[in-house]
Amino acid sequence: MRVAAFEAFPSEEKKRIAVQKAVNQWKKELSGGHAPRVYCLTNYTLNGIESFLSYHLLKKKIRPEIEFSDYNVVVQTLLDNDSRLYTWTPDFVLLSLDLRVLVKDFHLNAWDAEATSAELLDILKLIIDKVRAPVLVTNFIMPLIDDRRAAASLENKVRLLNQKLAEFVDQHGNKFFLLDMNRIVGLLGVQESIDSMLWYQSKGPFRSPFLSWLSRDISTIIGAHYGKSKKCVILDCDNTLWGGVIGEDGLTGIALDVNEYPGIAFYEFQSYLMNLHAQGILLAICSKNNEADVLQVFDEHPHCLLKKEHFSCIRANWEDKPDNIAVIADTLQLGLNNFVFIDDSNVECSLIEQRLPELDIIQAPQDPRKFQYIWQAENIFFVPHRTHEDSQKPQQYKDSENRRASATGFTNMGDFLFSLETRVEVFKDEPTHVERIAQLTQKTNQFNARTVRYTLQDIERFIISPKHLVFSMQVRDKFGDLGITNVCIMDLDGSGSAFIDSFLMSCRAIKRDLEIFFFCYCVEVLRNDYGINTIKAEFIPSAKNMLVEKFWEELGLQLLFTDSDNNKKYEGDIGQLLSPKLDHIQIKGQMK
């Protein structure tokens, strides 16, 4: 699928009628999937955002339900336990306040910024105490009055409020996500953003293009909670990482420079890619080139920021790019939906779009100045909560490649597994793993028995709940630390049985018997520490989890029935379940 990252904003997404038409059609076509409830808590009229928010979420195969609070009753809504904010149990809450409503006689500028800041913080603290869902909060649009030199200017007051809001969100990043309204105004312009007449008539301040861009930012955050973020960028080289063709122009002839145009445009694009790499996004090369020429640029060009070690996989040859991309996906053990491919050739992009429809494709612009649009557009790599393991991902994939390389020296799988010297550590209700556990539920597709997505707040509730147990397992071997790879969430019914709500494993730990070891260990804890005798489980099929379809049966659970949605229900007595001896896996100490 083509991604319009090199357009400032696709024109059809600015028009309400076109957007609503697409929404109506997609609602007919899309069935099943995620259907989050989004509650908009505002003190002004934001109802016009519904079509645009539905549009951008439906594009991600997410079917939202959207409700709005009444006009200017934010605090009342928060205090009323019977309000829809609580009885509807939304999955996400959007908090958006307009200072012209929040502050009496805003433009008279007689109000106290510190007092307003305290009022704002009281609202945010009330949300922490009473709202369970993740909260997306907008900042305040800077006034268009140039009064900066005044001792207590409006601009300085609003800037103070935005600073206080940003600090609060940063301190409570496990619950709040900040939406930057001023960035959108800066990118679209005031004329495309602000509707003064609509404000005077109905207290609706925004034009359709602004609402669409804001909706896209909201949908990015919501979508990331359901595993919609990309994990890897596959890059062409010529006229993408540098200007020109390395095989023809040579090392000194390509455009790549820290100061001069057009080389600086490619230098800045490489800077953007370096930032992605630092966040744990994988980089790969798929280029029709001699590999030696490509590596020479990485090794010897004085202005090339990217080096060979920044790439988890390099395929620089003369084979078809779709075939090379398939090799990259197989090497990294990721589905094609986790990648975005960037290439300047319309022919190559069209071929890949035809042969690999799951892959998102960005065609690099002919005009290097437009490269900046890629980081101005949607952040397709956004993840709700970055963990320490995210920054380690490039190294972890290189370790995985070393493991695969070492396997070629063995003819017996058992001998290879022993050679890895695998060591594991199992944890129960470990609060320091909350972010990673939530992330795994949001991103794991292949080895995931039910593919239920959970937020950080959900995992926190499970950990403190006496009716749930949350197990996690960290894996290391002689090649490195794989991090937290396995998660099991158990629902205890209080009468001697437990339901496996979630059982999943990172793809980089597959085919090492770790899932069997982890399951057997968790079951032993249930029996010995909680008196559980019966295990109940379920397999919910998805487009990507067929790897685990027979897992429960292989462990000895009995299939009870298959429902009309092909969901399989299982049950088994703990004493009759498979408990193999897995000597190639060593456990470190006792469970924590």
Nearest to 491 by CA among 501, 483, 481, 482: 501
Q: Which pLDDT tens digits describe the chain residue by residue (592 residues)?
A: 566 554 545 666 667 888 899 899 999 998 878 899 999 999 999 999 999 999 999 999 999 999 999 999 999 999 999 999 999 999 999 999 999 999 999 999 999 999 999 999 999 999 999 999 999 999 999 998 877 666 679 999 999 999 999 999 999 998 999 999 999 999 999 999 999 999 999 999 999 999 999 999 999 999 999 989 999 999 999 999 999 999 999 999 999 999 999 999 999 999 999 999 998 899 999 999 999 999 999 999 999 999 999 999 999 999 999 999 999 999 988 889 999 999 999 999 999 999 999 999 999 999 999 998 887 777 889 988 877 777 777 787 777 778 878 888 788 888 999 999 999 999 999 999 999 999 999 989 999 999 999 999 999 999 999 999 999 999 999 999 999 999 999 999 999 999 999 999 998 898 899 999 999 999 999 999 999 999 999 999 998 899 999 999 999 999 999 999 999 999 999 988 978 889 999 998 666 5
Strands 568-573 and 558-562: antiparallel
User: For the packed helices 16-29 and 50-58, what is the interaxial angle rounded to 10 degrees?
Assistant: 50
Q: What pLDDT, on the 0 to 100 scale, is given for residue 530? A: 96
Output the 3-class SS for 306-341: CCHHHCCEEEEECCCHHHHHHHHHHHHCCCHHHEEE
pTM of the model: 0.84
Q: What pLDDT, on the 0 to 100 scale, is given for residue 383? A: 86
Give the count of beta carbons closer than 10 Å to the beta carbon of residue 263.
19
- 537 with 503: CB under 8 angstroms? yes
Nearest to 74 by CA among 66, 87, 83: 83
Q: What pLDDT, on the 0 to 100 scale, is given for residue 393? A: 76
Tell me whether domains 11-224 and 391-587 share a fold: no
In a 13 Å sphere around the CA of 133, the CA atoms on its Cβ side amount to 22
- 552 with 574: CB under 8 angstroms? no
In a 13 Å sphere around the CA of 243, the CA atoms on its Cβ side amount to 20
Q: Where do the domains of the chain lie? A: 11-224, 232-376, 391-587
Q: What pLDDT, on the 0 to 100 scale, is given for residue 10? A: 63
Which 3 state secondary structure label does DSSP give 361? strand
Q: Give the DSSP letter of residue 408.
A: T
- 344 with 238: CB under 8 angstroms? yes
For 103-148, the pLDDT digits (tens) are 999 999 999 999 999 999 999 999 999 999 999 999 999 998 877 6
Q: CATH fold of 391-587, please?
A: Aminopeptidase (3.40.630)
Q: What pLDDT, on the 0 to 100 scale, is given for residue 6? A: 43
- 559 with 553: CB under 8 angstroms? yes
Which letter, b or e, does each residue of 349-377 get, where b requires 16 or more Cβ atoms within 10 Å of its Cβ? beebbeebeebbbbbbbeebebbbbbeeb
CATH code for residues 11-224: 3.40.50.1110
Strands (E), 375-463: 422-428, 447-448
Nearest to 64 by CA among 98, 88, 95: 88
d(CA 488, CA 486): 7
Q: CATH fold of 232-376, please?
A: Rossmann fold (3.40.50)
Query: What are the tokens at 377?
Result: 């557009």
